[in-house]
Amino acid sequence: MDSDAHTLLGLLLLGLWPVLGKYIIISVLAAILCDLDTIHLIYKRRAFSFKKIKALLKNTHEAYQKDPKTAHIDVFYLFHTLEFNIILLILAHWWPVLGFISLGFLFHTVIDIVHHRDLKMPVLRWLFFIEFLRVLRKSKKSGLRNL
């Protein structure tokens, strides 16, 4: 999903203001900035200009439509993984701000899950770190190439 849609949908979290107070702003920002973990994709594909980044984002969905099983199989989305968010929630016991960050990341991830399911794109391999490793290992053994 593009960043404009995530920004608009992230603003829905402001509806929790009466319950969570001003700290909900942290969750909104986390929901919007969750895709910063795609910087790895930009680096890996050497898309260092605005034009190349724009083309990469456009080609991401096209690659998934072409071959959802192997598209971007080597890209790891840390902030989207449930394992990472569970760690954040555990650490929130000592540093409460991490709970608000995790709330934003999880909200963003739920939106991505719905979006990817609608477009028949893979979900499990970016949602679970263990699944990412399993698929990556399997692809290397079978010699699959990245798109």
- Encode pLDDT of 52-87 as tens digits: 888 887 787 788 778 877 777 878 889 999 999 999
Q: Domain ranges in the chain?
A: 3-62+74-141
Q: Which of 41, 26, 38 minimizes the C-alpha distance to 79?
A: 38
Taking the CA atoms of the chain, what radius of gyration do you get in angstroms?
16
* Higher-scoring residue by pLDDT: 142, 105: 105
Q: Is the pLDDT of residue 147 over 80?
A: no
Residue with tokens 């699959």: 144
Residue with tokens 């934003």: 104
Q: What percent of the chain has pLDDT over 90?
A: 26
Mean of the pLDDT values across residues 2-9?
A: 62
Take residue 40 and report the two structure tokens written for it: 């790895």
Q: Is the pLDDT of residue 107 over 70?
A: yes
DSSP 39-100: HHHHHHTT--SHHHHHHHHHHHHHHHHH-TTTTTTT---GGG-HHHHHHHHHHTTT-THHHH
pLDDT at 5: 64
Q: Tell me: the pLDDT tens digits for 7-27?
A: 666 677 777 777 777 888 888
Average pLDDT, the chain: 83
Neighbours of 94 (CB within 10 A): 7
pLDDT band at 31 (very low <50, low <70, confident <90, very high): confident
